[in-house]
């Protein structure tokens, strides 16, 4: 089977990575994992059902140049026809950034903003044009009931304007997860860009971005790595700060690990104590930290710092348990 992926320009790469992020976030509760530059399509999103969303991405670098939009649409439909042969195909999406994806001035108003249109929701002229391409090019596999067109505006060299739609999608996603989450969208987008770029550059097609991997950095960014001081008041404040600065990346990685956070929170919820919440938390940290020592044993951490570092991570996870639960529920992640 032929691979439909081409080597895109830097602009095309930028658009493809952002398109992957948008598709994943807009389907987050049904997503298992995503792959940029998949075996069959530009973006392949695996759903929890086992089926996939196949997306073909075509970027137009000049906002008002419509000279090649029909050519791009035709090329996209040809590759989507190939994806449609896959038995796990649930959706086929053509994603572009132009407001005139069909090269028809009369239909621009239907695509002038961030737009999602199924085949049945397309203007009749556009439906007819798609059917004409399917017939003339003998595309025998496309089921138009699975086909949709997504427009993600993405133009200009001004980042504020260029990423406006992507930022809006991210902010809406965060707002729907929790009102507690504020002021992290730009930094989160940068992290996600790196994740998707690394994924696209990995030749192994089985390497994907898991849903948990995508959403867990939210916890780290929102909490800013500062545990409640009174939970660790047996330590000198300067020692705590030094460890948090020196091992910031390690703490990030631990808190981002979904399996480790869930393990700590499950243990905490099962921990029997007649004390109030704060005293229970302190008691749990003081008596149970040693149970997680194996999780820190392969990290080349000096013995004298192991206990403090473990307690910092545990404290951070427990302090953010409500936020963690919000993120988990908002992303549809089951314990």
Residue 2 confidence class, pLDDT cut points 50, 70, 90? very low
Q: What is the pLDDT of residue 173?
A: 96
Between CA 73 and CA 287 the distance in angstroms is: 62
Output phi, psi for 31, to 5 deg.
-90, 135
252 burial level (CB within 10 Å; 0-12, 13-18, 19+): middle
Please report which confidence band the pLDDT of residue 248 belongs to, taking 50, 70 and 90 as the band edges.
confident
Lowest mean pLDDT among 138-147, 195-204, 254-263: 254-263
Tell me how far apart the alpha carbons of residues 186 and 171 are, in angstroms, rounded to a whole number.
Answer: 9
pLDDT digits (tens, 9 = 90+) for 286-297: 999 999 988 877
Reduced to 3 states (helix: H, G, I; strand: E, B; else coil), residue 311 is helix
Least confident of 97-106, 183-192, 299-308: 299-308
- 168 contacts 114 by C-beta, under 8 angstroms: yes
Q: Where are the domains of the chain?
A: 10-196, 219-330
Q: What is the mean pLDDT of residues 103-119?
A: 97
Q: How confident is the model at residue 181 (pLDDT cuts 50, 70, 90)?
A: confident
% of the chain at pLDDT higher than 90:
66
Q: Average the pLDDT over each of 82-86, 136-140, 170-174, 219-223 and give the range with the smallest value.
A: 219-223
Pick left, alpha or beta for residue 159 (phi over 0 → left; psi -120 to 50 → alpha; otherwise beta): alpha
Distance CA 55, CA 94 (A): 6
Q: Single out the residue of 147, 116, 153, 114 nearest to residue 129, CA to CA.
A: 147
Nearest to 308 by CA among 265, 258, 245, 222: 245
Give the pairing type, strands 43-47 and 52-58: antiparallel
Residue with tokens 């906002």: 63
52-58, strands of its sheet edge to edge: 115-118, 147-151, 89-96, 52-58, 43-47, 31-36, 209-210
**In the prediction, which pLDDT does 79 show?**
98
**Residues paired with residue 55 on neighbouring β-strands, in sequence order:** 43, 93
Instruction: Say if residues 60 and 11 touch (Cβ distance below 8 Å).
Output: no
Is pLDDT at 7 greater than 50 in this prediction?
no
Predicted confidence (pLDDT) at residue 300 exceeds the cutoff of 80: no
Please give the pLDDT value at position 299: 65
Task: From residue 199, give the alpha-carbon distance in Å to each of 24, 52, 167, 181, 302.
Answer: 14, 17, 21, 26, 33
103 DSSP assignment: S
pTM here is 0.88
pLDDT at 142: 98
- Domain range 10-196, its CATH number among 3.40.1350, 1.10.10, 1.10.8, 1.10.3470: 3.40.1350
pLDDT band at 225 (very low <50, low <70, confident <90, very high): very low
Q: Which secondary-structure segment (H or E) carries 56?
A: strand 52-58
Instruction: Report the distance separating Cα 44 and Cα 4, nearest Å.
Output: 12
Residue 298's pLDDT band, with cuts at 50, 70 and 90, is: low
Task: Give the Cβ contact number of residue 270 at 10 Å.
Answer: 7
User: What pLDDT is recorded for position 8?
Assistant: 45
């Amino acid at each position: 089977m032929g691979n439909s992926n081409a080597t895109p320009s830097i602009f095309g790469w930028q658009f493809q990575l952002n398109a992957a992020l948008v598709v994943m976030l807009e389907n987050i509760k049904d997503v298992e994992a995503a792959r940029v530059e998949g075996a069959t399509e530009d973006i392949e999103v695996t759903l929890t059902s086992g089926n996939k969303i196949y997306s073909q991405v075509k970027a137009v670098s000049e906002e008002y140049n419509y000279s090649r939009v029909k050519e791009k649409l035709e090329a996209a439909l040809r590759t989507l026809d190939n994806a449609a042969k896959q038995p796990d195909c649930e959706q086929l999406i053509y994603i572009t950034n132009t407001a005139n994806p069909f090269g028809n001035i009369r239909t621009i108003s239907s695509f002038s903003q961030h737009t999602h249109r199924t085949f049945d929701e397309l203007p009749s002229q556009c439906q007819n044009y798609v059917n004409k391409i399917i017939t003339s090019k003998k595309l025998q596999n496309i089921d138009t009931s699975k086909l949709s067109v997504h427009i993600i505006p993405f133009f200009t060299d001004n980042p504020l304007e260029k990423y406006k739609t992507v930022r809006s999608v991210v902010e809406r996603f965060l707002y729907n997860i929790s009102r507690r989450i504020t002021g992290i969208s730009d930094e989160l987008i940068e992290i996600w860009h790196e994740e998707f770029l690394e994924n696209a550059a990995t030749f192994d097609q089985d390497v994907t971005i898991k849903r948990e991997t995508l959403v867990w950095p939210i916890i780290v960014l929102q909490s800013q790595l500062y545990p409640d001081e009174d939970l660790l008041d047996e330590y000198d404040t300067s020692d705590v700060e030094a460890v948090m600065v020196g091992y910031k990346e390690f703490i990030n990685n631990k808190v981002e690990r979904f399996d480790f956070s869930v393990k700590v929170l499950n243990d905490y919820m099962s921990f029997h104590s007649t004390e109030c919440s704060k005293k229970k938390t302190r008691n749990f940290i003081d008596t149970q930290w040693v149970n997680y020592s194996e999780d820190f044993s392969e990290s080349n951490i000096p013995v004298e710092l192991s206990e403090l570092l473990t307690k910092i991570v545990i404290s951070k996870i427990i302090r953010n348990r409500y936020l963690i639960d919000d993120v988990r529920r908002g992303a549809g992640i089951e314990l």
